[in-house]
Structure 1
């Protein structure tokens, strides 16, 4: 069992108005085999947390720590974090002109594992994963995400997840922009990766609809840069009924008092 541990994490960014603190003391532990849902309104800092774990240079950690099996993640380069077993499915996957899907996937797998996968087995695995995610075989020869629809880009993110087999997957609003059919296909891919790889999952979302297909054991309400409440799946059901208003009101009161 592996453990991703975040302790009292504070993160800031540079803005035109000066330094702004986004994360205000986040503490969270995810173990392999667990699925955690991180839910909150827009602007609460959820994507900042995901990007910080992955090593985005825009975000500055001012205090706190992130460790993976006791190793200091913040001291690692972005590629070292990937080799250590961290995977980020981006909210807005980028296009990579001039690089085919085939070349990208095999090069990335080689970099992560430290050796090239056996070609015959790899080709079979890629084909099977694409079929399960309903990605047309022609996409293998297309440039990464170039001209793909939003739903196609999200399926390609989960294709990478299934092929790279990380220890921990951070899924940053993977459900956004998906219709019902695509949501189900993508969720099935996440569940396969979870079942086959003993992976830990941090699922970041606004809505409960994806939780119908990906069942979390733990739910965390994220408001104003920190976790406001934690619980089991029943907490997501309550959010569906009540929304985030009472958390936002409490955060506003705390800010005013500060």
Structure 2
């Protein structure tokens, strides 16, 4: 049994005056891959943003425990330094800042120490090679003029460089074609195979899961995890939908 990295206990979260998470419980062990699926409005992105510490989301009950420490009150940057990473659904464009400079700054901010330019270039080349990306990509401005697939690949490159303990991928496959999903999923898989990073994937689609082969699949409905299983559960959802599961559970 793997050592626990993250434990969420009876988590209730509000945004403005609306309660979204309504007593959510989840445990993630080191090196495990977990998937959250659920209908629109179930609270999937709320969970991701709450874990990362987005100030718009207020915890009204329960705890987020990371490596044995309650992190409810930590700022986003403090959580990042502890090893939590969130891949954005809609990455921002930052004109004038190259991918390489952004990654070097981010690595220094998260690790608390600045690598030499040469040492960082060596690390970057290793990660670029591992993800089958071209080096000229690093001199482009961050996400400016990038296709949807390139933006998502850049998020996975960030994940590879920052080497988080927990990576949260919030609908990273959203808006991608089949080839781009495969490239992104294979990148995530390589990171998992080469580190003990735990991954929480939030998705509507099974295609990415076919590549990642998660340890656990959870179904989130109306702010709570109502069922946990393996890939068979994801296939059941794909064939029958959420309404059938709700009826089955008497939700």
TM tier, shorter chain? over 0.9
| Distance in structure 2 (CA, Å) of the matches to 1:39 and 1:199 | 20
Aligned to 2:5: 3
| Distance in structure 2 (CA, Å) of the matches to 1:71 and 1:201 | 19
Q: Deviations over 1:129-156 (max 9, x none)?
A: 3344344433322221122111111000
* Contact 1:37-1:216 at 8 Å conserved across structures: yes
* Contact 1:228-1:247 at 8 Å conserved across structures: no
TM-score, length basis structure 1: 0.91
| Distance in structure 2 (CA, Å) of the matches to 1:36 and 1:170 | 10
* Structure 1: tracts of 5 or more residues without a match: none
Aligned to 2:78: 80
* Contact 2:8-2:24 at 8 Å conserved across structures: yes
Aligned to 1:177: 175
| Distance in structure 1 (CA, Å) of the matches to 2:18 and 2:25 | 20
Could you tell me how far 1:100 is from its partner in structure 2? Answer: 1.8
Q: Deviations over 1:20-78 (max 9, x none)?
A: 11111110011111111111111111000000101111111111110111112212111
Count residues with an aligned counterpart.
249
Greater alpha carbon shift after TM alignment, 181-190 vs 81-90: 181-190
Which residue of 58, 65, 68 corresponds with 2:66?
68
Greater alpha carbon shift after TM alignment, 143-152 vs 214-223: 143-152
Could you tell me how far 1:248 is from its partner in structure 2? Answer: 4.8
| Distance in structure 2 (CA, Å) of the matches to 1:250 and 1:63 | 28
Structure 1 residue 218 and structure 2 residue 220: aligned?
A: no
Q: What is the RMSD computed on CA atoms of the aligned residues? A: 1.8
TM-score, length basis structure 2: 0.93
* Contact 1:171-1:201 at 8 Å conserved across structures: yes
* Contact 2:218-2:229 at 8 Å conserved across structures: yes
Task: Please identify runs of 4+ aligned residues in structure 1 that moved more than 3 A.
Answer: 131-136, 247-251
| Distance in structure 1 (CA, Å) of the matches to 2:4 and 2:157 | 23
Which residue of 93, 105, 108 corresponds with 1:107?
105
Could you tell me how far 1:233 is from its partner in structure 2? Answer: 2.0
| Distance in structure 1 (CA, Å) of the matches to 2:19 and 2:195 | 35
- Give the SS at the match of 1:111: helix
| Distance in structure 2 (CA, Å) of the matches to 1:224 and 1:36 | 19
